Amino acid sequence: MHLRAPSIDHGVVSLVWAVAFGLFIWFGSLAVGVSGSTAFIIGAVCAFLIFLFVRICGEERPRQVPRRSSPPR
């Protein structure tokens, strides 16, 4: 029996990264003294940009196996 992790759509993975880093930026901004509304806007904009970045650039493309040329006859 082979146990493998379930396949998760790349959009869901992008959303998880965006929410995690957006919250990190929001709470970090609050911790250093940025006002609540400004911190929320900065966190939301950063989360959106992180979502786009991970969605566009974060997916691994499968490696292409080079074709072997047929042996000469």
For residues 51-72, give the mean pLDDT.
Answer: 76
Q: How far apart are CA 36 and CA 10, in angstroms?
A: 31
Assess contact for 23 and 43: CB atoms under 8 A: yes
pLDDT, residue 72, reads 63
Residues whose CB is less than 8 angstroms from the CB of residue 15 and which lie 6 or more positions away in sequence, other chains included: 51
Residue 22: per-residue pLDDT: 95
pLDDT at residue 65, rounded to an integer: 72
Whether residue 63 has pLDDT greater than 90: no
Output the CA torsion 42→45→50→51 (10° steps): 140
| 6-55 tens-digit pLDDT | 777 888 989 999 999 999 999 999 999 999 999 999 999 999 999 999 88
